[in-house]
Chains A and B, each alone.
Chain A
Amino acid sequence: MAESLPQKPVESRFEAIIKVTKLVVLLLALVLLTIGPNVGYGLVVLSKFTQQKKVAIEMAVTLAKTAIGTLLVPRVTRKAVDMLVSNKALTFVRFRLRVVLATALSATTIILLPVAIVMVTDERCFYYNFKPQPAVVTNVPISYCFATDYSTGLCAEYATIMAGSTYTPNFAYDGEVCVSAVLSVYGPVYLGVVLLAAALPAGVEISVVPWLAPWCYRNTESSTVARTGLAILRAVTWNVWPALADARVQFSDLSLGAAKLDYLAQRVVERAFVQLMPTLLVALTFGIAVPLVGGACVVAAFVHLLHHRHVLGQIVSLGSTEQPAVVPNLMGCTDVPVGCLIVVVVTVLLVWVGYCRLLGTDHGRIYASDRAHRSAGSL
């Protein structure tokens, strides 16, 4: 008894350290993974690539960000919460943690990081603050009197020589132009991310899964393609594919049971929250400034709602086929956690205060005329 007592805390502390380290590595990996495409995209936008190449890369980045937001962030979140919280924790506690963490990660990767990267890499923002501009050397025409009319004492003919004129541009920050840069660089990307994150999963789940999933399910034992397909569907649909594939007809041998239905329903609600929160963040930041993005957020919200209500409805119908019939229990996984509200408020405030402060800052030089302009109060 006396020997075993000192060992327990050491073990648990070690495990805790390992756990925290793993967690930090996991989250850092996600952030780094997000920084990469953003920096690359920022550099491409500022490069001398042709417009076609830029647009192609822009589309690729849009797809990458969509994938990160819809697939990677939720998985990392789930993994992180599994590490953080014991399996014995209440379902809704884990649910809330996951939603808050996913919202925080989305805010970082979708809003804050891109804005920060544009701020640093774009010549319209702070780029030249970090990398001073080279001296500008130009030739300017300088006139001189080539021939004088001595009768009048005036110059009769002028000639011009070219003289070198050099100056080193001082860094001068223009908030309006920088905010405009952020919006113009990321406006198209957000437009795409918001629309794709809503429309693609909905399209896949509603149009593709019902006919693809049954085939994959029937052929799991005979076909590798089917097994792979089913794994992909499982990942893409957050495991809700059986509900979408109409179990009454296709899966008479598959009984999910009440617990599984509870789980599926909880995941659908969680997914809806996790996908709606970034859309809300985009709507409250870029959506307010760029009407196209604002419009995309409206469409996305409608699609998200329709899509997830449909999936929930399918889960309910699936439950009605169970013997005895069951209705999934959300087990408290119903609220948007207060933490999400905090994340959203902080992020939106950061962005808007940043915008407003940037609009009002001229790198220490504020002119009366600027103040007058800023009174217009634009983003």
Chain B
Amino acid sequence: MMLFQDTPGLDGVLPDCFGVKQPWLQFLALEINQLQGTLPPSICQASALEALLLGINALTGTFPSCLGYLGQLASLDLDTNQFKGPIPEELCQAGATELLLLGDNTFTGTLPNCLGNLSRLTLLDLDTNQFYGSVPEELCQAKALEVLQLKRNALTGSLPSCLTTSFPLLETMLLHDNDLSGTVPSEWALPSLISVTLSNNPKLGGSLPASLFLQHSEPNVQGSTNSPNNILHSVVIEGTSIGGNMPTEMCAAPQLVTLAFSGNELTGTLPNCIVSLQNLQMLRVSDNHLTGSLPEAINNMTSLTVLDLSTNKVEGRVPAALGYVSSNLITMQLQLNRLSCDLPASVLEWQASSANVSFNLLGGNLFGCSTKGFSGIATLSIHGAAGLRHANEQAFDAYNCGNSDYVLPVITLVALAVPIVFGLVASFMRGRLTLRWRAAFEWTVNSTTLIGALDRADRQIRALTLGVIAAANLSGSIALVVSLHVAKSAFECEYMASPTLANKGESNMRDLSIGVGAAGCVGLVLGLAPWWRRLVTKCSSSTEDYGSVAVLKNKPLYPFEGDAQA
């Protein structure tokens, strides 16, 4: 006998005697209702029960341990209820169990070691509970497992190494949102694996295992590691302490749809071969320490909808191919990297025609601007600013090369300063600017036979702060003049080769100005020097070296030759 109630709306409690009078009941499906109360132990009287499906209700209480004695029970679904307490060991007696769905409750305690005894178990769903302790190694004995969901618990300890090698039929392994530690097992042999998640296990370290991406690999067959049987679709490992490089072996999983490795400690470069993953829809590797450059042929990833490489250390130029990236793209986040050099025109064109794409390329990167002419503020902002390391700001209204913050201030300031500077220079040229200070105090004593008092008026001697008198034959009353009129001020008397009396205040002012100007000149020259610009922005080549838009449009790029060699 089977009892279904698949129309939502059934409420109330299960009667205490439920099951006593239905020993022939085989299939009880009361999912998606509003049943309340506890699951009566009398249910265990239904000894013929093969499927007890009570998911998505409001049942409370503890797990009836007697359920373990239902020898025929193959499917037990108590998912999304309010059960609490531990899972009794008796459950493991139900040797016929194939589907065990206990997720979304408030079960606590450790995972029973004996779960591995359920040799027919194909689906184990214990997610979103309060289980703690480690994942028992004995679980690896449940060889028939196809789905293992332990996500959103408080599981600790390291993953048993057998967990990644013991399940030939395992398709889905969801272990995210726990507190697992240790390292990710390096050996993976789960030939049926489709999806794996290990996200939000902050203490989980190690590195991305290459073998994870080589399921079904047959390395002895012509040296190939890219088996057509590789059905790995989703690898989501975010928010862990996994470091090391992204293995190029991931390119051997052509069915990959999702690769999410954000918030880890990954280093190294993004493998260029990743562009061969033409089914890949999501590539998220933000908040890592990736270096290197963007793959050249990124437009080969024709299925891409999400590309997030933000907050890394990806550097170098933006490939023109980025302008021809998938038309399916919804999100592209490249901010907070070290991308630099000039932006290719294809990217500007692409952005202009992709208003609905969430796009962030300029924020927190190191773009300079083209030095090749001023083609308009609307598309390319301030020019002649080679080497500028400006990172650009948020909330750009338009897609500009470089920092549009410079545009208006520069124009305004130039408009203000140019007339003034021009006016000053013009006044100077016309003699309107009096520069007699120097003339009044420059006092050259050429005579080496000067005797007697200096023929300068007191007022002029009085103003001297530096007298340089090198004439060897001076004699007479000059000492008297100096002592009377100059010694009270900071008169300095130096013997120099050139008999020049110069005003020190004016010359210091001039020297300081020259110093400031020289320092500014150094900055100006360095900033405009192409070799310096390439050094600071790590642009190995100038814009024209990496191809024009027309060439790229007509000639598909062939990717990852370098990786093949690697």
Which of A12-20, A202-210, A216-224 is found at the contact surface with chain B? A202-210
CB pair A305–B436 under 8 Å, yes or no, is no
Say whether A73 faces chain B, with CB atoms less than 8 Å apart: no
Q: How far is the CA of A317 from the CA of B432 in the complex (A)?
A: 13
Say whether B387 faces chain A, with CB atoms less than 8 Å apart: yes
Say whether A166 faces chain B, with CB atoms less than 8 Å apart: yes
CB pair B420–A202 under 8 Å, yes or no, is yes
Which residues of A, 135-188, contact B by the 8 Å Cβ criterion? 136, 138, 140-145, 154-155, 158, 160, 163-170, 172, 174, 176-177, 179-181, 183-185, 187-188
Q: B389, B403, B513: which contacts A305 (Cβ < 8 A)? A: B513
CB pair B519–A283 under 8 Å, yes or no, is yes
Closest to A168 in B: B239
CB pair A177–B390 under 8 Å, yes or no, is no
CB pair B391–A184 under 8 Å, yes or no, is yes
Say whether B177 faces chain A, with CB atoms less than 8 Å apart: yes
- B335-367: CB near A (< 8 Å → 1, else 0) gives 011100000000000000000000000001110
- B12-49: CB near A (< 8 Å → 1, else 0) gives 00000000000000000000000000000000000000
Say whether A327 faces chain B, with CB atoms less than 8 Å apart: yes
**What are 11 inter-chain pairs, A to B, with CB distance below 8 A?**
A142-B174, A142-B195, A144-B147, A144-B194, A196-B417, A203-B420, A269-B505, A298-B521, A332-B465, A367-B289, A369-B313
Say whether A300 faces chain B, with CB atoms less than 8 Å apart: yes
Which residues of B, 171-225, contact A by the 8 Å Cβ criterion? 171-172, 174, 176-177, 194-195, 197, 199-200, 202
Q: How far is the CA of A164 from the CA of B197 in the complex (A)?
A: 10
Which residues of A, 295-345, contact B by the 8 Å Cβ criterion? 295-310, 312-317, 319, 324-336
Which residues of B, 282-317, contact A by the 8 Å Cβ criterion? 282, 284, 286-287, 289, 291, 311, 313, 315
CB pair A330–B459 under 8 Å, yes or no, is no
- B425-447: CB near A (< 8 Å → 1, else 0) gives 10110000111111011000000
- The smallest beta-carbon distance between B316 and chain A, in angstroms, is 11
Q: How far is the CA of A172 from the CA of B364 in the complex (A)?
A: 14
Enumerate chain A residues within 8 angstroms of B388, measured Cβ to Cβ: 183-184, 187, 290-292
Q: A51, A154, A172: which contacts B396 (Cβ < 8 A)? A: A51
CB pair A310–B433 under 8 Å, yes or no, is yes
Say whether B9 faces chain A, with CB atoms less than 8 Å apart: no
CB pair B195–A144 under 8 Å, yes or no, is yes
Say whether A59 faces chain B, with CB atoms less than 8 Å apart: yes
Q: How far is the CA of A329 from the CA of B486 in the complex (A)?
A: 10
- The smallest beta-carbon distance between B413 and chain A, in angstroms, is 5
Given A142-B234, A187-B388, A306-B424, 13 more A-B residue pairs with CB atoms under 8 Å apart are A47-B395, A141-B234, A141-B257, A142-B172, A143-B195, A166-B177, A184-B388, A188-B403, A199-B416, A202-B420, A203-B424, A297-B520, A327-B441
Say whether B258 faces chain A, with CB atoms less than 8 Å apart: yes
Enumerate chain A residues within 8 angstroms of B510, measured Cβ to Cβ: 305, 309
Which residues of B, 361-404, contact A by the 8 Å Cβ criterion? 364-366, 382, 384-397, 403-404
Say whether B547 faces chain A, with CB atoms less than 8 Å apart: no
Q: How far is the CA of A207 from the CA of B526 in the complex (A)?
A: 35
Enumerate chain B residues within 8 angstroms of A124, measured Cβ to Cβ: 336, 364, 391
CB pair A140–B172 under 8 Å, yes or no, is no
Say whether A237 faces chain B, with CB atoms less than 8 Å apart: no
Which residues of B, 493-516, contact A by the 8 Å Cβ criterion? 503-506, 508-510, 512-516
With A142-B195, A313-B435, A316-B440 as contacts: A334 and B523 at CB distance below 8 Å:
no
Closest to B535 in A: A376
Enumerate chain B residues within 8 angstroms of A164, measured Cβ to Cβ: 177
Say whether A284 faces chain B, with CB atoms less than 8 Å apart: yes
Enumerate chain B residues within 8 angstroms of A155, measured Cβ to Cβ: 171, 194, 231
Enumerate chain B residues within 8 angstroms of A295, measured Cβ to Cβ: 520, 523-524
Q: How far is the CA of A276 from the CA of B520 in the complex (A)?
A: 12
CB pair A167–B263 under 8 Å, yes or no, is yes
Which residues of A, 63-94, contact B by the 8 Å Cβ criterion? 92
Q: B177, B433, B459: which contacts A326 (Cβ < 8 A)? A: B459
CB pair B428–A306 under 8 Å, yes or no, is yes
- The smallest beta-carbon distance between B155 and chain A, in angstroms, is 15
Q: How far is the CA of A330 from the CA of B459 in the complex (A)?
A: 12
With A206-B423, A299-B417 as contacts: A332 and B490 at CB distance below 8 Å:
yes
Q: B-side binding surface: helix, strand, loop or mixed?
A: mixed
- The smallest beta-carbon distance between B367 and chain A, in angstroms, is 9
Enumerate chain A residues within 8 angstroms of B268, measured Cβ to Cβ: 369
Say whether A273 faces chain B, with CB atoms less than 8 Å apart: yes
- The smallest beta-carbon distance between B105 and chain A, in angstroms, is 18
Say whether A49 faces chain B, with CB atoms less than 8 Å apart: yes
- The smallest beta-carbon distance between B237 and chain A, in angstroms, is 9
Say whether A109 faces chain B, with CB atoms less than 8 Å apart: no
With A55-B408, A283-B519 as contacts: A206 and B421 at CB distance below 8 Å:
no
Enumerate chain A residues within 8 angstroms of B509, measured Cβ to Cβ: 269, 272-273, 276, 305, 308-309
Say whether A50 faces chain B, with CB atoms less than 8 Å apart: yes
Say whether A62 faces chain B, with CB atoms less than 8 Å apart: yes
Say whether B267 faces chain A, with CB atoms less than 8 Å apart: yes
Say whether B260 faces chain A, with CB atoms less than 8 Å apart: yes
CB pair A327–B387 under 8 Å, yes or no, is no
Enumerate chain B residues within 8 angstroms of A45, measured Cβ to Cβ: 393
Enumerate chain B residues within 8 angstroms of A174, measured Cβ to Cβ: 313, 336, 338
Say whether A293 faces chain B, with CB atoms less than 8 Å apart: yes
CB pair B405–A184 under 8 Å, yes or no, is yes
Say whether A46 faces chain B, with CB atoms less than 8 Å apart: yes
Q: How far is the CA of A210 from the CA of B263 in the complex (A)?
A: 65
CB pair A170–B535 under 8 Å, yes or no, is no
Say whether B483 faces chain A, with CB atoms less than 8 Å apart: no
Enumerate chain A residues within 8 angstroms of B240, measured Cβ to Cβ: 167
Say whether A129 faces chain B, with CB atoms less than 8 Å apart: no
Closest to B261 in A: A167
Enumerate chain A residues within 8 angstroms of B489, measured Cβ to Cβ: 92, 329-332
Q: A136, A199, A305, A308: which contacts B262 (Cβ < 8 A)? A: A136
Which residues of B, 230-270, contact A by the 8 Å Cβ criterion? 231, 233-234, 236, 238-240, 257-258, 260, 262-263, 265, 267-268
Enumerate chain A residues within 8 angstroms of B457, measured Cβ to Cβ: 325
- The smallest beta-carbon distance between A193 and chain B, in angstroms, is 10
Q: How far is the CA of A212 from the CA of B410 in the complex (A)?
A: 30
CB pair A141–B281 under 8 Å, yes or no, is yes
Q: How far is the CA of A291 from the CA of B466 in the complex (A)?
A: 37
CB pair A303–B391 under 8 Å, yes or no, is no
Closest to B389 in A: A180
Say whether A8 faces chain B, with CB atoms less than 8 Å apart: no
Closest to A288 in B: B523
Enumerate chain B residues within 8 angstroms of A92, measured Cβ to Cβ: 489-490
Enumerate chain A residues within 8 angstroms of B514, measured Cβ to Cβ: 301
Enumerate chain A residues within 8 angstroms of B516, measured Cβ to Cβ: 276, 279-280, 283, 297-298, 300-301, 304
Q: How far is the CA of A187 from the CA of B541 in the complex (A)?
A: 26
Say whether A101 faces chain B, with CB atoms less than 8 Å apart: no
